[in-house]
Structure 1
Amino acid sequence: MKAELWHSHAREEPYPQPGIHTLEELRAMSPAARMRVLRAQRLWMTSLQFDWPQQHRLHQMLTECVEDNEVLGHGAKEIFAVDAEYGVGKSTLVRQWAIRLYREAVGEAIDSPQIPVWEPRPGVHAHHVPLVWVNLASAANIKEFNTAILEYLGYPVSGTIRSMNLRVADALDRHRIRLLIIDDAHLLNTRPMQGHDVLDHIKHINTELGERDGTMILVGAQLDGHPILEDPQIGARLRYVPIGPMGIDTATERSQWQHFLYGIEQRILPYLPRAQPGLLAGQHAPRIWRRTQGYVGDVAELVRRAARAAAEDDRWTITVDHLENADLKERAKRHAMAEQRHKEQVAQAMAKNAKKSAAKQAAR
C-alpha cells in the first residue's frame, strides 16, 4: 500500500443506503425493477460494518495509548499489540480506528484527493503523512520491513540497510509520521539466524518514532508465545490485547450477543417487510451462533445471505432454512461441524453414563 491509496480510502463515503419499500410495492415491481432494488440492498448490506463490544473497548484503548505516548517523555514509547486468530477481524477493527484518527489528523485536507502538504522547514514542502500502514510479507526481514515503509512514502528502496534506516528516520520528521501500524506482524522473520536482528530493528524504529512522540501498533495472529512478545525489552513496553469471537457461555456474553444481533436487526429488518422485531436477537440467536461461533464477519455474511434468500423467494423474513442453507466460508463450516461433533460426543457420553447408572440400579 502507498500513502496515496490510504488517503483515498480515508476519503471514501459510506455506500449509499437504498430506499425502503413496503411489501405491496415490492410485489408490484417489474422483474427488472425488483432486481435493481435487490442489487442495491445487497451491495449496501455487504458494505455494512456492525458494532460489537470488543470494538469499542479496543478503539478506546488504542486512542488512550496514542494520547499517552504524546505526553510521555521522549524516547521509546509503549507499543500496542492486537492479537487474534485468523478470521476474528482484528485488522478491520484497527483499520476502522486508524481511518478515523487519520481524518482527524489531516482535518479539512481530507476533502482534497491530494495528500496534504506542510512545511517541515521554511520553504521546504513535503507530504503530511501522519499514519503509515505496513502490510508485511512472509518472513519479512529488516530490509523488507524498511522497504514497506519507504514504498508507502514513495521513497527509493535501494541501498544498504543502514542507508535505508537513515531514510526511514528522516521520513519520520519530513512527513510528521506519528503512527506506524504493522499488520501481520507475526510474519516478521524471527527465526534464529535473523530473528534477533529483526527484533532489535523493531526496537530501534520504536525509539525513533518515540523521539517524535509517535506510536507503533502491531497487529498479528496468534502472537501469544511469539518471539516478539517474549523479547524482554519489547515486553517491557508492550500493551498486549488479545481479541476473539463473541461467546455465549455466560449471562453477560449472551446479553452482549443478543445486543449485537439487535443492532444488526435495526439495519437489516426494515428491508424485510414481513420480519418482526426480535427475529435475530431472540428467535434465531442460538442458531446464528452455532453457524458462526461468534465470528463477527461470518455473522454479517450469514445474515446478509439469509436476507437475500428471503427476498428472492418472496417470503421477506428470515427463516430457519434461510440460515441453515446459507453458504459460508470454509472456516465457519469446519467450526460448525466440529461444534456439532462435540455436542454429539457429549450426548453419547451422557447417554452411556445414564445407561451404566440404570444398570447399577437394576443390579441392586
Structure 2
Amino acid sequence: MDARLWHQQATTPARALPTPVTVEAFDDMSQDSQDTYWEHLTSAMAGLVLPSVLAQDAAAQLTRLVHRNQLRPPGAKAIGSVSAPFAVGKSTFVKDWAQAAYRDLLGPALSDPRPTWNPEPGVTADWIPQVYITLRAASKIRDVLASLLLTMGYPSEGLVRVTTTRVVHAFRQHGVRLLLIDDSHFLDVSNKDSRDMLDFLKYLNTELGELGGTMILIGADLHESPIYLDPQINSRLERLTLTPYPLTGEEDMRTWSRFLKDAEGVLLPYFDCAPAGVFSRQHAGHIWRRTQGYVGDTALLLTQALLAAFDDGSDTITTAHLDDVALSARAAAGEAELRKAPIAPSRRRSLKVTVT
C-alpha cells in the first residue's frame, strides 16, 4: 500500500455512531429528523467494528513485541507472525492495531498530509515509520522488493542486488520502524527458491533490526508454511494465532458471552426496549451456530438483526430477526453442518436379552 494512502487511512476516522435516541423519543421525532437519524445509524453500523477480547489480547501481544525490539541492541530482532484461517479478519485486525500505533507515534504531525522528519542534520525526508505491503500469488524476492520501493515512492526497476540496497537505504532515510508483510502465505518458497527467499527475509529482519524496527508476517495458516520450519527464523519467531471464538467448554462459553455482552454495551443503547442479555444470554448459542464465532459475521448479524427489529416496530430481537440476516457462504455452510442432527445409535444390541 502506498505510504500516502496508509497515512490517509490512518488519519480518516470511521463514521461515528450517532448519539443514541430512545425508541420512545424516536417515535416522537418529526419524519425528517427520523430519516436523518436512521440514515446515520444504518450507515455507521455498516462499518462498525465490535470490541473483541481476543483481538485486544492479540493487540497487546504485538505492542509488547514492538516495544521489546525497540529496547534490544541493534541487529536481528524477534519476528512477529500473525496466522489465522481465512475469514477470521487477520488483515483488518493488524491494520487497526498498526494504524492506532501510527497515530500515537506521529502525534502533532498527524495533521500534516505528508509528514517529514530529519534523518540527519540538514536533510529532510518523508517520514514513513510503517510500511505495509500485500503480496500476490507466488511472490518472489524481486516482487517483494518492488512492492517495498513503490510503497515508499521509489522506482522498482533494477537488479535484485540494486533494489535490495535501495530498500535498505529507504528504510534508513524514511525512519521505517515497522514492516508488515500481508498475505505472506503467497511468498514463493518452492523447493527451488525457498532458501533464497528465507535468507532474504532474515536479511530484511537484520537490516530493520539495526534501526530498532520490527518485521511482522501476516498470512493464512502460516503454520503450514516452510517459513515456520526454518530453524533460524523459527528461533526468532513470536507466533500469534487468531481464531474464531470457540465454544467447546465452560471457559469458552464465558468468553463468548463476554464478547456478546460487550457488543450489547455498544448496540443496545440504540434499541433500549430490548432486554439486557438479549445477545449474551438469550440468543448466545443461536448466534454462535449462525456465525461459528467469527467476529465479522457476528458483527453483521447483530447489527442487521437490531436494525430489522427497530424498523419493524418490535420491542425485542428474536430468533426470526437473527435468521433473516444473510451471512457469508462460509457461515451458511458452517451453520448447515452444525444443524445436521447426529443419528442416534441403535439401542437394540444393549437391550437384547440372550435366551438360554
Q: Which bracket does the TM-score occupy, shorter chain normalised?
A: over 0.9
Q: Secondary structure at the match of 1:247?
A: coil
Distance 2:349 2:95 in 1: 55
Task: List aligned pairs for 1:12-161, cutoff 5 A.
Answer: 12-29=12-29, 33-112=33-112, 114-161=113-160
1:354 match? 347
What amino acid is the match of 1:250?
G
Q: Structure 1 unaligned segments of length 5 or more: list them.
A: none
Give the C-alpha shift of residue 198 in structure 1: 1.4
In 2, Cα distance between equivalents of 1:363 and 1:44: 73
Of stretches 187-196 and 16-25 in structure 1, the one that deviates more from structure 2 is 16-25
Taking a change above 3 Å as real, the CA distance of residues 27 and 195 of structure 1, as seen in their structure-2 partners, is same
* Residue matched to 2:180: 181
- Shift in alpha-carbon separation, 1:310–1:165, aligned structure 2, 3 A: same
Structure 2 residue aligned with 1:203 = 202
Aligned length: 356
For normalisation by structure 1, the TM-score amounts to 0.93
Q: 1:164 Cα shift?
A: 0.5
Q: 1:257/1:147 Cα in 2 relative to 1: closer, same or farther (>3 Å)?
A: same
Per the alignment, in what secondary structure is the counterpart of residue 298 of structure 2?
Answer: helix
Query: In the alignment, what sits opposite 2:4?
Result: 4
Write the letter of the residue equivalent to 1:22.
T
CA distance in 1, matches of 2:232, 2:69: 17
In structure 2, the gaps of 5 or more residues are: none
- Distance in 2 between the 1:22 and 1:212 partners? 53
CA contact (8 A) 2:133 2:180 kept: yes
Shift of residue 363, structure 1, vs aligned partner:
6.6
Identify the residue that residue 244 of structure 1 maps to in structure 2: 243
Deviation track 1:251-297 (CA, whole Å, cap 9, x = no partner) reads 11111111110111111112113211110001000000000010011
Contact 2:22-2:269 within 8 A present in 1 as well: no
**Map of 1:331 onto structure 2:** 330
Distance 1:363 1:290 in 2: 47
| RMSD over aligned Cα atoms | 1.7
2:355 and 2:283 map into 1 onto residues whose CA distance is 45
- 2:104 and 2:241 map into 1 onto residues whose CA distance is 26
User: Percent of aligned pairs with the same residue?
Assistant: 37
TM-score by length of 2: 0.95
Given the superposition, is the C-alpha separation of residues 362 and 274 from structure 1 closer, same or farther in structure 2, using an over 3 Å criterion?
Answer: farther
* Cα contact 2:23–2:270 (8 A) shared by 1: no
Shift of 1:354: 3.2
Distance 1:361 1:84, change over 3 A: farther
Secondary structure of 1:129 counterpart: coil
Deviation, structure 1 residue 30: 5.9
Of stretches 178-187 and 240-249 in structure 1, the one that deviates more from structure 2 is 240-249
Q: What is the CA–CA distance in structure 1 between the aligned matches of 2:163 and 2:221, rounded to whole Å?
A: 30
Post-superposition offset of 1:31? 5.7
